[in-house]
Amino acid sequence: SATTTVQANTTAGFSIVLYTGTGSTSTFGHGLGAVPKMIITKTRSNTGDWIVYHAGNTSAPETDFLKLNETNATEDLNTMYNDTAPTSTVFTLSTNGDVNTSGRTQVAYCFAEVDGYSKFGSYVGNSSSDGTFVHLGFRPAWVLIKNTSTNDDNWYLADDTRDADG
- SS3 readout for 39-58: EEEEECCCCCCCEEEECCCC
Print pLDDT tens along the chain (166 aa).
888 999 999 999 999 999 999 999 999 999 999 999 999 999 999 999 999 999 999 999 999 999 999 999 999 998 999 999 999 999 999 999 999 999 999 999 999 999 999 999 998 888 888 888 999 999 999 999 998 888 878 898 989 998 665 4
**pLDDT of amino acid 162:** 81
CA distances from 30 to 21, 59, 62, 91, 108 (A): 15, 23, 16, 7, 9
**pLDDT of amino acid 165:** 59
